[in-house]
Amino acid sequence: MRNYYIAGNWKMHKTVAESVALAKALVAELGSCGERVMIAPAFTALSAVADVVKGSRIVLGAQNMGPDLQGAHTGEISPLMLKDLGVTAVILGHSERRHSYLETDALINKKVLLALAQGLEPILCVGETLEERESGRLEAVVGAQVREGLKGVDAAALGKVTIAYEPVWAIGTGKTATPEDADAVHAYIRKVLAGLYGEAAAKAMCIQYGGSVKAENAAELMAKPNIDGALVGGASLKAESFGPIAKFRS
């Protein structure tokens, strides 16, 4: 039976106290959840949330990191700083970083390589805009994001990487890709991965879906053969909505 990877991206929400309260509620709610669960609070709340999730089944993630270990990089956060707080996973290349902060595939690739070198498990986000989808460029765009994002990642390190397919038009809009549409893109991503690393490695990869995932659609999405988990935004901000997503099988 597959083990799903359900991650909550809290984005730019919650004070430290609010983050601690949500983390405590999730630790209580998800004690018996069989899936792999990760939460990614804001940087400012990582330390406090680390204390809450320590010893629980919940993995602590960051929403981003800088591409360097240390030095004169005002405003950036190093993987060393994340590890220091107990962070073990990091979301990289989210579409909000690509579009609002103009992060390129080359920059994201540098971060992926640095995260892996530092023993952090990256979630590499990919996804097309509505305009790219409607103009028939979905596969070209997503394929390039996967190939460029993984450049220089060797087969041994690949197992530490998760890919999150998040169609930009489905993020925060209430529009979910249909399970069939999402699964078709996941299958394409797996084909790209097979071309790079072989069939077996591609089959073993975890590919999450993200974009308006809710308790109501989680089971239907997860039932698809190529969907191995979810990267959840809005619905991860409350235990009452994230809990049932993580426990979609029970």
- By annotation, the residues acting in catalysis are 94, 166
Residue list 197-216, contact with ligand 13P (CB under 6 A)? 210-213
Question: How far apart are CB 31 and ligand 13P at their closest, in Å?
Answer: 24
In our burial notation (b when 16+ CB lie closer than 10 A, e otherwise), range 204-235 reads ebbbbbbbbbbbebbeebbebebbbbbbbbbb
Question: In sequence order, which residues have a C-beta less than 8 Å from that of residue 184 and are 6 or more positions away?
Answer: none
CA 145, distance to chain mean position in Å, is: 15
Question: How far apart are CB 232 and ligand 13P at their closest, in Å?
Answer: 5
Residue of 138, 182, 231, 245 that binds ligand 13P (CB under 6 A): 231
Residue list 132-171, contact with ligand 13P (CB under 6 A)? 166, 171
The region of 50-58, 135-143, 231-239, 242-250 touching ligand 13P under the rule CB under 6 A is 231-239
The region of 73-81, 177-185, 230-238, 239-247 touching ligand 13P under the rule CB under 6 A is 230-238
- Residue 60 β-bridge partners: 39
# residues near ligand 13P by CB under 6 A = 14
Question: How far apart are CB 14 and ligand 13P at their closest, in Å?
Answer: 14
> How many whole angstroms separate alpha carbon 68 and alpha carbon 7?
25
C-alpha distances in angstroms, 50 versus 24, 101, 214, 246?
11, 27, 25, 19
What tokens does 78 get?
């190093």
Residue of 234, 239, 245, 246 that binds ligand 13P (CB under 6 A): 234
- Residue 39 touches ligand 13P, criterion: CB under 6 A: no
- Residue 233 touches ligand 13P, criterion: CB under 6 A: yes
Question: How far apart are CB 74 and ligand 13P at their closest, in Å?
Answer: 26
- Residue 183 touches ligand 13P, criterion: CB under 6 A: no
By DSSP bridging, strand 121-126 and strand 206-209 are unpaired
Closer residue to ligand 13P (CB): 26 or 197: 26
Number of helices and strands in the chain (H, E): 12, 8
Question: In sequence order, which residues have a C-beta less than 8 Å from that of residue 244 and are 6 or more positions away?
Answer: 215, 218
CA angle in degrees (0–180, nearest 5) for 223-3-95: 75
Where do contacts with ligand 13P occur on this chain (CB under 6 A)?
9, 94, 166, 171-172, 210-213, 231-235
